[in-house]
């Protein structure tokens, strides 16, 4: 069986789509999958066991990239085409069955929209795939013997970024002797590029003892790191979704983006919102005390839930 799965160009949306992909893989254990996604998101899918081909979208003027992708896919007879981009390409391929998501925004969490495409209920949670070498790298970076607090102070939009000084104060209070995570190591994660580095630098400067992992890991290694963390706390970002998918206790910080649509989805995930109307708040209006209290609650809940 040959299944074509067209996912997102962004990391966060790509991670959210992994639950649907994992559902299909479990339902069709002998199927081989071709996945189309954005270049930055390909690491989300690289370790999938049933992956036959991974095609990264390189955007071109006049949407000519879709013509190239069609050329790479047109001569295969597909059993199922799942298109999460609402593109035209799914209608230009030979397939026994096609499922194309409805375009535009609508109420409800993204996972619910994805699950409805295949009539799956409840919506399957996102997953991560890693290889032994990813797990080994993570273990060398975050060795056992003490818990690890991982912070994600970056995002793809400056308005989604919580103030750096609050991230630093949060880490110091949580890891203090009387904190919720006493003696924990601190690691800072972020993506590659100057923008991510500039967002993370003030937090790294304020926490010189922290492990700097900004731009130094690929996505399967990040997923393996997340699986070792006591808690991940970060802005609404692809890293937040990856942490939740890896099963880490995950606290997503939200202001100007809707948590009811893009909140972290995982067995130990929670969102905390800034003051103001949901999806319209300012990150400066998210108090440190609220994040501290929610983190402590989440850590307590996670301790009572089997791994």
**Once rounded to an integer, what is the mean pLDDT over residues 28-42?**
97
Domain membership flag for residue 81 = yes
Enter the DSSP assignment of 101: P
Q: b/e map of 287-307 (b: 16 or more CB within 10 Å)?
A: eeeebbebbbebbeebeeeee
Give the neighbor-by-neighbor strand order of the sheet with 80-83. Answer: 51-57, 32-38, 2-6, 80-83, 98-100
Band of pLDDT at residue 7, cut at 50, 70 and 90: very high
Mean pLDDT for the chain overall? 95
153: nearest Cα among 206, 111, 220: 206
For residue 137, pLDDT over 60 is answered with: yes
Q: Are residues 241 and 144 in the same domain?
A: yes
Q: Residue 305 pLDDT more than 70?
A: no
Tokens of 137: 């790298």
pLDDT of residue 67: 86
The gap between the terminal CA atoms of the chain, to the nearest Å, is: 34
Identify the CA nearest to 32 among candidates 49, 47, 52. Answer: 52
pLDDT at 62: 59
Q: How many domains does the chain have?
A: 2
The answer to whether residues 223 and 299 belong to one domain is yes
Same domain for 155 and 84, yes or no, is: no
Domain co-membership, 109 together with 196: no
183-226 pLDDT, tens digit each = 999 999 999 999 999 999 999 999 999 999 999 999 999 999 99
* From 101-115, 174-188, 193-207, the region with the lowest mean pLDDT: 101-115
- Closest by Cα among 191, 296, 306 to 247: 306
Structure token digits, residue 199? 């967002």
User: Which tens digit of pLDDT belongs to each residue from 68-79?
Assistant: 899 999 999 999
The whole domain housing 39 covers 2-118
- Asked if the structure places residue 40 within a domain, the reply is yes
pLDDT value for 307: 53
Tokens of 159: 């308005």
Average pLDDT over residues 12-38: 97
Tell me which H or E stretch contains 297: helix 288-304
pTM of the model: 0.95
Say what percent of the chain tops pLDDT 90: 91
Cβ atoms of 229 and 243 within 8 Å: the answer is: yes
């Amino acid at each position: 069986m040959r299944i074509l799965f067209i996912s997102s160009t962004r990391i966060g949306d790509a991670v959210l789509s992994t639950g649907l992909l994992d559902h299909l893989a479990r339902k069709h254990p002998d199927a081989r999958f071709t996945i189309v996604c954005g270049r930055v998101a390909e690491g989300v899918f690289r370790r999938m066991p049933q992956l036959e081909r991974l095609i990264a979208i390189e955007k071109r003027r006049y949407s000519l990239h879709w013509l190239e992708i069609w050329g790479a896919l047109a001569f295969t007879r597909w059993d199922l085409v799942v298109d999460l981009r609402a593109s035209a390409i799914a209608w230009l391929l030979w397939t026994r069955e096609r499922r194309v998501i409805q375009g535009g925004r609508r109420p409800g969490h993204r996972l619910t929209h994805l699950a409805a495409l295949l009539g799956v209920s409840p919506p399957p949670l996102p997953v991560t795939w890693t290889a032994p070498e990813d797990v080994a790298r993570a273990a060398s970076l975050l060795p056992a013997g003490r818990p690890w607090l991982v912070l994600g102070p970056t995002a793809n939009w400056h308005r989604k970024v919580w103030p750096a000084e609050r991230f630093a104060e949060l880490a110091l209070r949580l890891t203090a002797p009387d904190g919720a995570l006493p003696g924990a190591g601190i690691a800072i994660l972020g993506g590659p590029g100057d923008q991510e580095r500039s967002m993370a630098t003030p937090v790294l400067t304020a926490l010189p003892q922290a492990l700097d992992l900004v731009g130094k890991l690929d996505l399967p290694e990040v997923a393996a790191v997340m699986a070792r963390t006591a808690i991940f706390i970060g802005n609404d970002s692809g890293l937040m979704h990856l942490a939740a998918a890896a099963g880490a206790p995950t606290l997503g910080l939200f202001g100007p983006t809707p948590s009811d649509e893009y909140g972290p989805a995982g067995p130990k995930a929670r969102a905390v919102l800034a003051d103001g109307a949901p999806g319209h708040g300012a990150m400066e209006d998210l108090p440190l005390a609220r994040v501290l209290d929610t983190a402590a609650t989440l850590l307590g809940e996670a301790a009572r839930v089997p791994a």
